A and B are shown apart, each in its own frame.
Chain A
Amino acid sequence: MKLIEPVPDRVGAPLEAAVHAPSFEPSTREDWAIRVRHLGKRYRLFRHSRDRIKQWLFGWRRCFYQDVWALRGVSLEIAKGQSVALMGANGSGKSTLLQILAGTLTPTEGTAELQGRVTALLELGSGFHPDFTGEENVRLAGSILGLSPDEMNRCLPAIAAMAELGDYLQRPLRTYSSGMIVRLAFAVAASVQPEILLVDEALAVGDLAFQQRCFERLRRLREQGTTLVLVSHDLETCKRFCDVMYVLEHGRLIQAGPAEDVADWYFAHLCSKKTMEHGRQDAAVGQGEGAFPEAAARITGVECLDEADRPTTVLRMGQRYRLRVQIRLQGACSHLVAGFYLRDRFGCEIMGSNTADASALFPSLRPGDRWWVEFAWPMRLRPGKYSVSAALAKDAQTPSYHHWIDHALMIEVVDPRAGRRVHGLVDEDVAITIRRAV
């Protein structure tokens, strides 16, 4: 029996009371494609499959399960032709929402109305059988998606062309590479002309060229007026591709609006949440914040200053900035190393430094001392958002920390010289000369 991971209590205040709850006014417009009202999905978690039987028999006396709301109080309205992204961490309920819309899950409360022919791409290639030929599988998959045999006959050449399988279409599926299966599956799904298309991270497989082709196809469907609902983790893709973005957290809708704005909000939200998570001592993972109870030193603040000593989070390319890490010593320690890392939106460490590498020493390390460590450098990273992580270590060699804060500060690099292209990650001053060869 598959048990769902226990999650903290999701039943809380009603939606209206949620911090960033988007306002929902049921509109009377006619051109809606999807209308969702107070949708909720509850799972009953039985500790043991035996308990399910007990519940049937003795349910009137005692409760043998634990209620978990995977989704609660979600209301939204999607207009025809809109492209919508559902974002959220794992377990936030976005896939549950999509599956309810698709019809594979039944909601516990509320309603979802869909206007038009719905096609769901929850997983590419599900329902394929390895012993049958590509064509046989395509025909069955088409029937599942609701194509009649006549329509299928008409679509088959297009599918074969899009999947680029050639002769392989007549061979058993088990002789295919996984990429071929995915291509075939997407080709089938794309051949249906849906009015509403639901896609659940299905496109996160396959090589880059294939993904681009998928998005090309999605774009064409969108131009033809198809309403798209995408579930994805990839913020950038969603931002580029969708008009509207919804963010779910712990089964609740916490933000909605134009994709660009919500994507920025969500990124900041993610980072601030990570900063708030206290007490994680998992330094190797590099997530959140951590301190040992007996730690001798703490970071009390991280800020970025421009040349006029003003704190700022928007940095202009080419200018010099100082990153100030404020430290307070609580106990005695013999060595102290302060350092920082800059990460891009993918979590990649772009640059960093620490006091040990620069052989900078603290003049004294007495309890109660307060120090500012300032790292100064000209900002040459390409425009974008970066997060600053700061750490205090006992020495530079072993990863034993006094205190660290991931995503202590969010900064954004902007390019004051509009219209210039930045090649790569760093915009170094490159001196260029052209000389005649001798």
Chain B
Amino acid sequence: MIVVRSAHTSTWRQHVLPLAPIGQLWQHRQLIWQMAVREVKARYHGSMLGPLWSWVMPLLALVIYTFVFGSVLKPRGAGWGELTSWHLALMLLSGLLIFNSFSEMVGRASHLILGQPQFVKKVVFPLEILPLAMLLGMLLHLMISLSVVLLLGWWLQGTITWSWLWLPLILLPHALFLLGVGWFLAATAVFFRDLVPTMTALCQLLIFLTPVFYPLASVPEPYRAWMLLNPLAWSVELGRAALMGTAPPLLGLLCFLGLSWIVMQLGYGWFMFLRPRMADVV
């Protein structure tokens, strides 16, 4: 086995080929798994409630939303006016949980490489698995939190809806999108450190451009099509629909999957393009 190290060992082109990330990440599956486990353990480390926090926080949010949006602010979006305050809180919470997973990814991806320079300089480490391991940990957290929403939905409706089975299929493109964003930000932040504060600020604005606090249907027509360029609008809308008992449109789901696959692929290509240069800067 001969390893060659030269300036031209790898070209970014080989990383943007379709399916390239899957093959390359598969070799590191064991390391990815270990890093993901470490990520989960680190999240709950030292806290007394442990994973229960993933339930407690959404439950608390649910109670507060029910009060605020049921008794103080009454949202009037299309179709949202007739919802009970519990249903309304459910809508808001599911949207918010999905959006939060995005903002957490944005917030942490920027520090991911910069915060662990030892992985860049001191050990030979496949840096590209870091965003993936982080995503796996986040997805677990998201699913635990979403189970609160599901339990409440079960309690409100009295039955389990079959459309809930679509949720994992909706979360898949969402995860791919997050992964692409994660790769892009983690790599770019190494060279462009202003990215961290910029992205945090942008994230706070983006929540209003995503149908979290209102349904997409209430957006007037010329703008609605534009909003669909935001992959988060897809995950929030499709996720909610599935929660309320509507199966997502297959074509829409495929579009979403395609869109987020492209984002993921580009993010990976960008990361691998910058990868050899990172050690010079960190």
Contacts and interface: CB of A to CB of B under 8 A. Distances in A.
A1 B280 CA distance: 11
Given A107-B7, A144-B31, A115 B122 contact: no
Interface string A41-58: 001100001001100000
B11 interface: no
A144 B1 contact: no
Given A49-B193, A122-B122, A136-B38, A115 B1 contact: yes
A10 to B, nearest CB: 16
Interface in A117-153: 117-118, 120, 122-123, 126-127, 129, 131-132, 136, 139-140, 143-144, 148-149
A104 B279 contact: yes
Contacts of B46: 131
Nearest to B31: A143
B72 to A, nearest CB: 41
A144 B5 contact: no
A104 B123 contact: yes
A206 interface: no
Given A109-B7, A118-B3, A136-B38, A127 B30 contact: no
A127 B124 CA distance: 11
Contacts, number: 96
Contacts of A336: none
A114 B279 contact: no
Nearest to A50: B194
B2 interface: yes
Nearest to A136: B38
Interface stretch (B17-25, B49-57, B113-121, B141-149): B113-121
B191 A103 contact: no
A43 B280 contact: yes
Given A104-B120, A104-B121, A148-B30, A129 B6 contact: no
Contacts of B74: none
B34 A143 contact: yes
Interface-central residue, A99, A106, A117, A126, by most chain B CB under 10 Å: A106
Contact of B38 (A1, A103, A132): A132
Interface in A98-116: 99-116
A132 B281 CA distance: 29
Interface string B105-137: 000000000000011111111000000000000
A149 B277 contact: no
A122 B121 contact: yes
B41 interface: yes
Interface in B243-282: 276-277, 279-282
A114 B5 CA distance: 8
Contact of A112 (B6, B31, B124): B6
A111 B30 contact: no
Contacts of B30: 143, 148-149
B268 to A, nearest CB: 18
Interface residues of B, number: 34
Contacts of A117: 1
A127 B123 contact: yes
B232 to A, nearest CB: 28
Contacts of B3: 103, 113-115, 118
B155 interface: no
Given A123-B122, A143-B31, A106 B192 contact: no
B78 interface: no
Contacts of B279: 99, 104-106
B4 interface: yes
A369 B42 CA distance: 77
Contacts of B282: 2
B280 A105 contact: yes
Contacts of B193: 1, 49
A52 B193 CA distance: 11
B60 to A, nearest CB: 26
Contacts of A100: 5
B122 A106 contact: no
A256 to B, nearest CB: 20
Contacts of A120: 123-124
Nearest to A196: B3
A140 B119 contact: no
A116 B1 contact: yes
A111 B45 CA distance: 45
A114 B279 CA distance: 20
A272 to B, nearest CB: 34
Given A104-B123, A111-B6, A126 B38 contact: no
Interface in A1-48: 1-2, 43-44
Contacts of B1: 115-117
Contacts of B122: 104, 122-123, 126-127
A107 B5 contact: yes
Nearest to A103: B124
A103 B280 CA distance: 12
A132 B46 CA distance: 11
B38 A101 contact: no
A107 to B, nearest CB: 6
21 contacts: A1-B193, A99-B279, A102-B124, A106-B5, A106-B7, A110-B6, A112-B5, A112-B6, A114-B2, A115-B3, A118-B3, A126-B118, A127-B123, A127-B125, A132-B38, A136-B38, A139-B34, A140-B34, A140-B38, A143-B30, A143-B31
Given A106-B276, A111-B5, A126-B118, 20 more contacts: A1-B281, A2-B282, A52-B191, A103-B5, A103-B124, A106-B5, A107-B6, A107-B7, A110-B6, A113-B2, A114-B5, A120-B123, A122-B121, A126-B122, A126-B123, A127-B122, A136-B38, A143-B31, A143-B34, A144-B123
| For the complex of A and B, 5 pairs with smallest distance between CB atoms | A126-B122, A126-B118, A106-B276, A111-B6, A123-B122
